[in-house]
Amino acid sequence: MAGKLPLVIVGASYAGTRLAATARELGYDAPIILLGEESHRPYQRPPLSKGLLAGSVAPGELALWGEAFYANHAIELRSGVRATGLDPRAREVRLHDGSSLRYATLALTTGARCRALAAPGAGLDGVFALRDLDDALRLHAALADATRVCVIGGGFIGLEVAASARRRGLAVEVVESAPRLLARAVSPRLSGYLERAHRLRGVQVRPGRQVRALRGDAGRVVAAELDDGARIACDVVVVGVGALPNVELAEQAGLLTRNGIVVDGFGRTSAPGVLAAGDVASLAPVDGDGSPPLRLESIHAANEGARAAASGLCGQMRAFGGVPWFWSDQYELKLQMAGLTRAGDTAVLRGDPEADRFSEFHLRDDRVVAAHSVNRPGEHMLARRWIEAGARIDAGMLADTSVDLKGLQPTP
Ligand SMILES: Cc1cc2nc3c(=O)[nH]c(=O)nc-3n(C[C@H](O)[C@H](O)[C@H](O)COP(=O)(O)OP(=O)(O)OC[C@H]3O[C@@H](n4cnc5c(N)ncnc54)[C@H](O)[C@@H]3O)c2cc1C
């Protein structure tokens, strides 16, 4: 390894650590330097809005990898180091302390950050965003003294925060500007189900409403004012209005970006020697059908994008693939989602939403293209295999709970 220029990875989380580890497993033999601006070692992000906030998971349980991982893979982890500039021609990355690093290959795995609330009062004390461990620790501490929480944004993170705050016995209201919860991710039926589930557990849900302003007293938030004139009294506000990819390094260096750094199936950007993966990357469509690049924010996409990028780097060319999947835990409800839906797909219900156990299968030309399940893990895993195989399954069989799905023979 000595004397070789390194693979430098900017962003030490899911995509960064996976890319480093896969490169090693595939025989990459130059030094690997993993830069992370956070002071913490890489940690698991999903529990931040779930177990950590609800109090069932301690910060010490969040390490993404054990201590031995970095030594075993010969990865030099540098925490608390921020990359501030990039020169792809000179193959050099600049760091916050004024020093710079030369690289053979650079990987940008800088993830995403929270979109800010564009409303007066967004900077008041008591207003929180939730992206990293420090955010979560601050919010966790604030909830200990809070009585009323207003969550702005009825997406996955907003709803998970609402559920965790209810678990801690707080009064919770969720304000969502779209007419229904999770409107871009799930069907109207599933939106309606989740809205009912939250209401039944004591959350007040206000779809179709915008926050006009946050009001404070002595610098602390005391209320959210909505566009219909309603005023929600609260001592904590959590803003969950989406995430923006951290593309600044790439943009300054002239890389092609479009809602993320545009990459091909091997994580290659428009600049030679620069890869990208994870929440910051937008995957260009392979067939050039005119659809925009696809940016997925999920653990699966981060791992899969990183694996594909490492395979390309090591000459093994195993392109980004597999069925996209995602999960969300709210109260005792485990929501699992696989595949991607689009307008015109047929949704088939199996099971009983009233009993909090059901799946919704999405069919296109009789093939299962997506499945959204609540508390049906076995069925969901089966559906994932069908999606992967592009299997045709009869809609009537899917809906009929007397039919054992394991016994079904899908036609290819
Ligand atoms: C609260 C929460 C709950 C979630 N729950 C789920 C879930 O249940 N299921 C699921 O599939 N996904 C979930 N996600 C999404 C998932 O966590 C992300 O998709 C995943 O973390 C993306 O990984 P990544 O490595 O691309 O980016 P990130 O995890 O965002 O990591 C990027 C890292 O790069 C660092 N960085 C950025 N710029 C620089 C720089 N210039 N120099 C050095 N370092 C830099 C950042 O500080 C950060 O540590 C959740 C996300 C959040 C915030």
pLDDT of residue 237: 98
Residue 3: pLDDT band with limits 50, 70, 90: confident
pLDDT of residue 370: 97
CA distances from 86 to 8, 10, 264, 290 (A): 11, 11, 20, 30
What is the sign, positive or negative, of the torsion defined by CA atoms of 131, 137, 143, 145? negative
3-state secondary structure of 137: helix
Query: 48 alpha carbon to ligand 1 midpoint, in Å?
Result: 11
Atom of ligand 1 nearest to the CA of 136: 1
pLDDT of residue 288: 64
pTM value is: 0.97
Q: What is the pLDDT of residues 81-117, one digit of tens each?
A: 999 999 999 999 999 999 999 999 999 999 999 999 9
Domain boundaries, the chain: 7-113+244-313, 116-241, 332-407
**Candidate CATH numbers 3.30.428.10, 3.40.50.300, 3.40.50.20, 3.30.390.30; the one for domain 332-407:** 3.30.390.30
Fold of 7-113+244-313: FAD/NAD(P)-binding domain (3.50.50)
- Least reliable range by pLDDT among 29-43, 280-294, 354-368: 280-294
What is the sign, positive or negative, of the torsion defined by CA atoms of 371, 373, 378, 379? negative
* Average pLDDT value for residue range 147-157: 98
pLDDT > 90 in the chain, percent: 94
pLDDT of residue 409: 75
Whether 7-113+244-313 shares its CATH topology with 116-241 is answered yes
Residue 411 pLDDT > 80, yes or no?
A: no
Residue of 33, 35, 43, 45 to mutate, ligand 1, most atoms within 8 A of C-beta:
45
Residue located via tokens 């592009």: 390
Residue located via tokens 């006009």: 212
Atom of ligand 1 nearest to the CA of 301: 19
Residue 288, number of CB atoms within 10 A of its CB: 7
Fold of 116-241: FAD/NAD(P)-binding domain (3.50.50)
Residue 289 pLDDT > 90, yes or no?
A: no
Query: 302 alpha carbon to ligand 1 midpoint, in Å?
Result: 9
